[in-house]
Structures are given as structure tokens and as C-alpha cells.
Amino acid sequence: MVELGNRIETDVLIIGCGIAGATAALRLAEDPNCQITLVTKVDSILETNTYYAQGGIIYRGDEDSPEQLAEDLNRAGDQLNNPEAVHILATEGPQLVRELLIEEYQVPFTVDASNHLEFTREAAHSTSRILHVHDATGRAIQEKFSAALLARPNIHLLTKHVAIDLLTPSHHSTDKRHVYQPLSCVGAYVYDRDGDRVLTILARATILAAGGLGQVFLHTTNPDGATGDGMAMADRAGARIVNAEYVQFHPTAFYFRGEARFLISEALRGEGALLLNAAGERFMERYAPQWKELAPRDVVARSIHEEMLRTDSPCMYLDIASVMAPDEIRSRFPTIHESCQEFGIDPTKHRIPVVPAAHYACGGVWVDAWGRTSLERLYAAGEVTCTGVHGANRLGSASLLEGLVWGDRAARDIQRRMERWTQIDPSYIPDWESPKDAEPADPALISHDMATIKHTMWYYAGLVRSQRRLDRALRDLANLRHDIDAFYRVNRIDTAIIELRNAALAAIIVARAAWENRESAGCHYRTD
């Protein structure tokens, strides 16, 4: 990495440091001559969507096969999955788990009494194949990867750095003739929070691993930073976006005083937990008699939604106490046990109040089998992408595996192609220009606009959609985006205004895709 003033030149720029970005960085770093710059907008490289993934990661069970996993992926995805992506995940995924997570980075997966890896089962899986670290699998993986990232001298970590926009010669070059060239990415403008400055980072290749968009909805299991940054930046750069309407709502988020607070892992239902209404009655038999509590996530989420409407209840309940001994609950789900107790609920004794919440974007930036986007030299991996492996609905614990596989694949493809790419002449890319006489943005306006986005998406483009609701969403969001863009152009740049701008665009992309797709499938459900 070469830094001069507000400019950095690097071989590879990676935006995001969850499992996808970290896997890519570590694979690229095997070449000591490759300089990798990894940026994340949060204070710590631990603070990722990966860190909050409770359930586990798909491996290969004792009575399992790639064909069986592929069948489960396709069934959960409503048969709209990309066959090539499914084949890659089902064949390469478990091998990578073994090579990287188990052997190289020694993630401490839970073992049974015989010291063998313990497999659990989640909804829509036909067999037990999920590896886990109690109920904090993502945290354990992120901790191991973060330590490895810090140990590599050719990985340059920039925390508190917020990507603003991808750099494309067609949009940003001072040589207007570059508009005739194919779209390509040569880096990004990045806001340095501590330095209160904007860096111009030029790279021979860029990997977008910026996570999801759950924070555009009122209720979500995602951390605060999941504001659709990656999708929005890619869209502005001209990248292809597909399947954006397929936003998965997790059936069980902890409910307290009108809000979803945190994820209650699907693994509880995998261990036998029952869904009950306020009267203490099981209800999944009415909605999904074959699978009951182990139905695909979209089915369970809508079933809870319908039961809440039918019974006029603000939430449903998850009962693990009646099917698992207290000591087992505390041992198997220590994080959930502790988190529930903070709100006065003891899962060993009490039913857990739950509601559906926005959880995972199954669509996003289109990538091919090697993580290549529709822009030259721009790759993407993880939740920000659409590989097609999830189809219309993600199979539980497939997200971490997808990030691992495509983070690795993107890195390997870059290694093969790096020699043919030269750094763009820096003189073609101007420094960032702030508006003259720019003032700090009014936090009250930002807070209000973000709340408007969240409420609009939740009520008009959320779990249940219709033409009338989506018409209203698009109309309201278009007007709001116009105001936000004007607001963005005259105010001093900071994290909040960057996230607001991205959230507005990401919301419109999702709502428009939902409007255009008139057929219900997977987690995209229309009443009309």
C-alpha cells in the first residue's frame, strides 16, 4: 500500500471484513507481494454481520451428500436457485469448512461426548449437517479470522472508514473519452471518520463485501451498519442487481415493548422448540402440516404473521423449556439464555416472545461463479451479492458458507488475473470535493428520514406485499430520495448521511423489484 496525502494505491481494495471479505483477504495475502487494503466503517473488525450469526455453518453430516444438500437448497429456494451456484456450494463448501475453518484456523466447533463434531439440524434441512459453536458460531469464526487478519503484514486494516462511492473511469475520470470504455472499477472514495477527510483509494481490483440491508426495515436482526451500502454503491456505479425482492424475514426475533431486539436462532426449533400462540396452542400444524416448526423460514414467518393477525396478538411464543432440560439450554444456547434474561425472560422456565424480522437479502449484486460482477475488476462476495445459490429463500446456515466459498473464489480469480491489470493513472481520478460552505447535517432530519424509510418498507414492502402497498412505497420513497439527495449535496460528509443516502436507494431497489415481480415465491409474498 502506498499512501500519499489523501490518496492510497493498493493492489486489492476490500470493502467489508465479515467472513466473505476476511476469507478473500487471507487468501490473497498468501502472496507476500500482494498489498491488500481492507476497510470497514465500524470501530472494530469484529463488528460484522458474521459476528452475530448464531446458528452455524453447513458441513456434511454422517448420512449426507452433495446431492442431498443441493436438493435441500433448491427446495428452500422454491426451485428458483442457480444450478451452477448450488453445485459449487454443495461440493466445494464442506471441503473449505474442513480446510480453512477446522484445520487452518481451528474454529472451536462444539463436539459431542465422544469428541466428535456435533451436528445439529435446522429448518428445511433433511438431515443433521450444521456445525456450531454453541449459539455463537459467527462470533467464533470472526474472532479467528480477525486475529489472522491482524497477523498478516500485507493486509492493511482501516477501521472507521466508510466507503462512499465506487470509482469508475466512466463516471469519475477527468478524461471524458473514458465513457467509451467498458464499465470498470478502479477503487473507491472512502470517508475517514477520525481524520474527517475523504480518501481516494485506487486499486487494481476491488471486492465488495459490505453485507446486507436489514436496517431499511423497522424490525431487523441486523446490526446498525446494515444499511444497504454495498448494493447502493454498486447500483450507482452501474452494476447489475438481481432478485432484490427476495428479502428473508427470520421468523423468530426476540420481542420486547413493540420492537424486535435480537435474533432467536432457528437452532432452537431444530432442537425441538415449539411455536405457541398466546393461548398456549401449537399452530404450525395448520399452516405447514408436513414440516410444522421446521418449515422453511418464509413459511414460518408468514405463519406467525397470520397467527398474530388471527389472534390479534403482538407476538407469538417459542417454548424450549418443555423439550430441553435447563442445563442443556444453558449449555447449548448460552448467548440466547443470557440475552433473554436481560429482558426478564428465563428460557429455562418461560416462553420466549418472538416476532418476524428482516434478516437476510437473498438477492443483490449479480456475480458469476467466481464472484465477478458486471463491472470489470469489481468482485463481490457474501450477503451483498446474488450468486443465485439461495433462489427465492435462503436455507438456514447457508449464508456463512456462501461467504466462505465466494470470498475464496473471488480471491483465487483475482490471483489469476492480477498481472493483466495496471493501476489507473492517478491523474485521471480527481480528489473528493466537498460542497463550498458545507455545514454539518441536521441529525434530527437524518433520524426522521431514516425512520420514514424503515416504516415505509416494513408496512408497504415487508413480509406481505400488494400492488397498492408497493405503489405507495415507491411514490413515498421517490419523493424522500429526492430530498435526501439534495440534502447530501449541500452538507458536510459524515457516516450518518452516507448511510441515509444508501438506505434510501437500497429501499427503492427492493421495493421496485417487488413491484415488478407479480408472482409470489419464497420470501417474496404478494396477496394479489
Same domain flag for 345 and 372: no
φ/ψ of residue 15, rounded to 5: -105, 105
Same domain flag for 269 and 240: no
Residue 180 falls inside a structural domain: yes
Partnered with residue 101 across adjacent β-strands are none
Identify the pLDDT of residue 54: 83
Same domain flag for 275 and 410: no
Whole-number average pLDDT of the chain:
95
**31-69, pLDDT tens digit by residue?**
999 999 999 999 999 999 999 888 899 999 998 999 999
Instruction: Please state the rounded mean pLDDT for residues 200-204.
Output: 98
Same domain flag for 456 and 388: no
**128-141, pLDDT tens digit by residue?**
999 999 889 999 99
Same domain flag for 213 and 77: yes
Question: Residue 24: pLDDT above 90?
Answer: yes
Domains in the chain, number: 3
CATH at 474? 1.20.58.100
Lowest mean pLDDT across 150-154, 394-398, 475-479, 501-505: 394-398
Same domain flag for 239 and 120: yes
And the C-alpha cell for 274? 415449539
**277-331, pLDDT tens digit by residue?**
999 999 999 999 999 998 888 889 989 988 998 999 999 999 999 999 999 999 9
Which of 101, 109, 98 has the alpha carbon at shortest distance from 144? 101
Which of 435, 524, 507 has the alpha carbon at shortest distance from 472? 507
Compute the distance between CA of residue 438 and CA of residue 180 in angstroms, rounded to an integer: 34
Identify the pLDDT of residue 124: 85
β pairing state of 57-58 and 155-158: unpaired
Question: Residue 18: pLDDT above 90?
Answer: yes
Question: Residue 434: pLDDT above 90?
Answer: no
Residue 383 falls inside a structural domain: yes
Same domain flag for 372 and 238: yes
Which of 461, 296, 465 has the alpha carbon at shortest distance from 394? 296
Question: Residue 1: pLDDT above 90?
Answer: no
Instruction: Please state the rounded mean pLDDT for residues 374-389.
Output: 98
CATH at 228? 3.50.50.60
Same domain flag for 416 and 306: no
Residue 326 falls inside a structural domain: yes
Domain ranges, residue 507: 443-516
Which of 486, 481, 491, 490 has the alpha carbon at shortest distance from 450? 481
Identify the pLDDT of residue 229: 98
What DSSP string describes 9-74? EEEEEEE--SHHHHHHHHHHTTSTT--EEEE-SSSSTT-STGGG--S-EE---TT--HHHHHHHHH
The pLDDT confidence band at residue 270, using thresholds 50, 70 and 90, is: confident
One-letter identity of residue 159: T
Question: Residue 380: pLDDT above 90?
Answer: yes
Examine the fold and report which residue of 293, 327, 356 is the final residue of a domain before the chain moves on.
356
And the C-alpha cell for 327? 442445563
Lowest mean pLDDT across 113-122, 147-156, 431-440: 431-440
Same domain flag for 60 and 202: yes
Identify the pLDDT of residue 299: 87
Same domain flag for 214 and 67: yes
In order of 123, 136, 321, 331, 482, the CA distances from 328 in angstroms are 20, 15, 10, 5, 53
Residue 197 falls inside a structural domain: yes
Question: Residue 73: pLDDT above 90?
Answer: yes
Identify the pLDDT of residue 191: 98
Question: Residue 413: pLDDT above 90?
Answer: yes
Q: Residues 146, 413: contact at Cβ < 8 Å?
A: no
H or E element in which residue 450 lies: helix 443-460
Question: Residue 146: pLDDT above 90?
Answer: yes
C-alpha dihedral (337, 355, 462, 482), degrees to nearest 10: -60
Identify the pLDDT of residue 436: 79
Compute the distance between CA of residue 420 and CA of residue 416 in angstroms, rounded to an integer: 9
Work out the burial of residue 46: count CB atoms within 10 Å of its CB; fewer than 13 is exposed, 13-18 middle, 19 or more buried: middle
Q: Which residues are catalytic?
A: 297
Identify the pLDDT of residue 465: 96
**447-488, pLDDT tens digit by residue?**
999 999 999 999 999 999 999 999 999 999 999 999 999 999
In order of 131, 252, 269, the CA distances from 338 in angstroms are 22, 17, 18
Instruction: Please state the rounded mean pLDDT for residues 187-205.
Output: 97
CATH at 338? 3.90.700.10
Residue 494 falls inside a structural domain: yes
Examine the fold and report which residue of 356, 391, 416 is the final residue of a domain before the chain moves on.
356
And the C-alpha cell for 44? 472494530
Identify the pLDDT of residue 68: 98
Strand order in the sheet with 364-366: 241-242, 364-366, 385-386
Examine the fold and report which residue of 428, 457, 479 is the final residue of a domain before the chain moves on.
428
The share of the chain scoring above pLDDT 70, in percent, equals 100
Same domain flag for 407 and 309: no
Compute the distance between CA of residue 303 and CA of residue 292 in angstroms, rounded to an integer: 10
Question: Residue 435: pLDDT above 90?
Answer: no
Instruction: Please state the rounded mean pLDDT for residues 486-500.
Output: 95
Same domain flag for 217 and 292: no
Residue 132 falls inside a structural domain: yes
The share of the chain scoring above pLDDT 90, in percent, equals 90
**366-376, pLDDT tens digit by residue?**
999 999 999 99
Residue 94 falls inside a structural domain: yes
H or E element in which residue 166 lies: strand 161-167
Residue 528 falls inside a structural domain: no
Instruction: Please state the rounded mean pLDDT for residues 199-211.
Output: 98
